[in-house]
Each structure stands twice: as C-alpha cells, then as structure tokens.
Amino acid sequence: MTVRERNNAEQLAARDCDNCTETRIITDELKHYQEEHERLCVLLNITREISTELQLDRLLFVIMDEVKNALHADRCSVFLLDEEKNELWSKVAHGESEIRFASHLGIAGHVATTGEILNIPDAYADSRFNPEIDRQTGYKTQNMLTFPMRNRLNEIIGAFQVLNKKEGSFTRDDEELLNAISTIAATQIENAQLYEQLQNTLNSFIETLASTIDARDPLTAGHSKRIALYSNEVAKIIHLNEPRKKVLRFAALLHDYGKVSLSDAILKNHKKLTEKQYSQMRSHPAITRAILEKIQLSKELKDLPFIAGTHHEKVDGTGYPEGLKLEQIPAEGRLLAVVDAFDAMTSNRYYTGRMSFEKVIRILEQDSGTHFDPAFVKAFKKLRLDKLVEILENESAEWLDKTDLSKLSQYTIDDLIFELRFDTTRNNGFKLVDTFKKYYQQEYLKQKERG
Ligand SMILES: [Fe+2]
Ligand SMILES: [Fe+2]
C-alpha cells in the first residue's frame, strides 16, 4: 500500500468511527425519549384509572395493580397510616386480607416514620425487615422498594411497598417513577378518605333519624332498619347497581320519616282510627317526601325524596298519596311497598305474636298485581331463609343458632312455601318448617328463658 492509499484508508476509518459515535448518540437519545414516553404513558394511564375512583378499597386495589405492572414487580402494597391506633394497615395486598401492625415496625414502618426511600436488593439481609408478614402470608420477599406517601401538606400518610422485581433489582428509574406515582396516588387516596368520612357521617345521621321514628312506637321498633335490610337483600336478588342500592337504603331508612308530624294519639293508636286521624296518617309519605326535598341532596341522591314518598302507592293506582300506577311508581318504591307490608304483617305484636307465615304469604300473593308489583313479590320469595330469620330477629341476633342458619341458607321463601303447602320431606331429613318456625314463632327465646 502506498503512502497515499494508507492516508485515504485512515481517513475513511476515522469517518466510519465518527458515524459510529453519532449513531450511538442518536440511539441513546432515542432510547431515552422512548423510556420517557413510556414513563409518561404509565403516569397518564394511572391518573386516568384512579381519578374517578372514590371508593377507598377499590382505589387501593387499582393503584396497587397499576404500580405492580408499571414497575414490573410481583406484588405491591399500599400501607396507610392509622393515626388513632398508631398503626399501618393495608387492606388488599394482592391476595391477602387486611394486614395491620405498629406504625414503626418493619421496612414500611421505617419509611413511614423517617420519610426515607428504601431500595433493598436483599430483604432478609436487612435487619430492619420484619419477616413476620411473610410468615403469616407464606410469601417470600426477595427485593423491595419502599417509598413514603405524602399528602399536599407534605405529611406522610403511608408508604408504597413494591416487592420482587421480575428481573434484577429495583433501579433509580423505578424510584423516580414511584415518586411520581406516589404524588398522584396520595392526592386521590386523601380524596377517597375524605369521601368515606362524609359517607360515614351521612350514614350515621340517616340511621339516627330513622331510629328516632322507630323509637316513638315500641310496636314498630326496628321497622325502618328492617326495611333497609330486606330492601338490600331484594336489591341483590334483582342485581340492582351500587348507586341505586345506596339510594334505596336511604329511602328505606327514611320512608316513614313523615310520621314525625303525627301525634302520639295517632301513631300509637293500634285500634280504630277516626276518619280524620286516618287521613292524617295517610299524609305521612307526602310529608316524608316534602321534608327530604328540603335537604340539599347530592346528584346521586336526587331521587331519594320521590322514592321514599311512594312506598304506599299501589300498582293499580289505588294507593296514596298520589294514586300512581305501575310504571309511574319508581321501581325502588314498588320494592319498598312489598317489604314494608311484609314487615308490618310480620311485626311481633304483644300477646298475639306474629301473623301466621302462611297468611302473610297468601296476602302478598293475593295482592300481587293490585297492590304489589308481581315482579318484586317474586323476587322477595327468592330471599334465603337464613337472611329472613336474621332480619326478622335482628334484635336477638346473638341467640340465633349458627348451625340452623347454615342449614336454612340452603332454602328460600319459595322452598318454605312449597314445604308448607305440600308437606313433603324432600330435604334429607332436615325439618325445614320446624326450624323456620322455631325462630318465626320465637320458640328459641322461650327455650333460652327456660335455660
Ligand atoms: Fe309508611
Ligand atoms: Fe313503613
């Protein structure tokens, strides 16, 4: 090779080398942008997934699932600080039930107390690791990334713990991603906690209102609470969605609230009311509705006054206060009519006891299509007998025999009616009618008294 040829070759090699470096730089930049893009997609996805969820349990589950996938880990737990009990708790930790421990214990405790981020490649080699949870759950923790979760005021409200990276250990990039997720998640968790508190306050407020009505007449004690329990069971049978179930529960608890306007002379009069008293008594659903309409209710509860005010309407239009017909009455109002009448007929009168169960069912069936919507009578008869006994006797719940309840749970009201009418013994020796009547006629309480 001549000198000139060698120079040319060297120049070409140098140019190739420059190209290589440039290509490498471009490839690295592309990779960086691609990773950044993926990171933003993950964050966007998580924000979208959690931003509409206000139910705390479901929210925690969604967050844990998203974080687990985003960090290519096997498991993720969100530990929340319970300041009153000084504990950390995690409700759903991918397969486990609630975990609770003192807020200073273990890695999560350390992070929640100090605010440090802990990226531990070998958990069992770290003295702060509390192997007790693994022992309880049978899980084997290898590596873990634990991150404090802070609210808008920068106070620690809990910790994220991501376990067992699928390949290798958790990286610096994982820490950054978890940091970003943690900020988004903490805000939504606080919103959900606040929403839960508000719901609890509203719940206890409505339950208190209901009990003030029930307390006025010992004969109907517990009526509103039982109506709410029956309604909930029928709602499950007809697969009513959760938002409607909630409105139905409140409507059930408050359906007779309008009775606050009635005097004791009317409310506690279980004999014959005068014409005037009867008309006052019949005004209570309209008063319930009017009172509830005065409350500024959220959008999800807007139908509550109307539903509560229709529990004495009849599908043939002969009910009150408005004489509405079948489809003019909201479905929840038609459901309430069935359980309200059932509870009135099965309430435990002093001296006389309960009306016979056969008669109660006969009335429900006879009035099906005139007073009651047949669809709801049919749904009600699908109620399981353990639930029926638990609601009928909910004030003596501690005396109910668990074995009896477990056997009764295999039968519905329909099965009981069949048994009562045809007197068959098709239940492998189980005395269905006798067991039910032991509770319906409250024989079990007399047996207890006898000792
Ligand atoms: Fe009523
Ligand atoms: Fe009622």
| Residues 35-88: tens digit of each pLDDT | 778 778 888 888 888 888 888 888 888 888 888 888 899 998 899 999 999 999
Pairing of strands 156-165, 73-82: antiparallel
In angstroms, the CA 181 to CA 50 distance is: 11
Residues 42 and 92 in one domain: no
Residues 278 and 361 in one domain: yes
Domain of residue 5: give its range: 1-51
Distance 445 CA to ligand 2 centre (A): 26
Residues 317 and 379 in one domain: yes
Residues 183 and 207 in one domain: no
Task: Write the burial class of residue 340 (CB in 10 Å: 0-12 exposed, 13-18 middle, 19+ buried).
Answer: buried
Residues in the chain predicted with pLDDT less than 70, given as ranges, are 1-3, 12-17, 91-97, 270, 349-352, 424-429, 451
Total structural domains in the chain? 3
Distance 145 CA to ligand 1 centre (A): 58
Phi then psi for residue 160, to 5 deg, are -95, 140
Residues 272 and 313 in one domain: yes
Residues 206 and 306 in one domain: yes
Distance 288 CA to ligand 2 centre (A): 11
In angstroms, the CA 266 to CA 269 distance is: 5
Distance 284 CA to ligand 1 centre (A): 7
Q: How far is CA 338 from CA 331, 344, 368, 426, in A?
A: 11, 10, 9, 29
Residues 12 and 63 in one domain: no
Residues 16 and 85 in one domain: no
Could you tell me the pTM of the whole model? 0.78
Residues 279 and 385 in one domain: yes
Give the model confidence (pLDDT) of 223-261 as tens digits: 999 999 999 999 999 999 999 999 999 999 999 999 999
Residues 247 and 259 in one domain: yes
Residues 40 and 70 in one domain: no
Distance 311 CA to ligand 1 centre (A): 6
| Assigned token pair, 43 | 């964050």
Distance 256 CA to ligand 1 centre (A): 5
In angstroms, the CA 177 to CA 31 distance is: 17
Residues 226 and 284 in one domain: yes
The residue ranges of DSSP E strands in 24-106, in sequence order, are 73-82, 87-90, 99-102
Q: Which of residues 193, 228, 252 is at a domain's end? A: 193
Distance 266 CA to ligand 1 centre (A): 13
Number of neighbours of residue 218 by Cβ within 10 angstroms: 10
Task: Give the ligand with the smallest distance to the CA of 340.
Answer: 2
Distance 342 CA to ligand 1 centre (A): 12
Give the model confidence (pLDDT) of 136-161 as tens digits: 778 899 999 999 999 888 999 999 99
Distance 312 CA to ligand 2 centre (A): 9
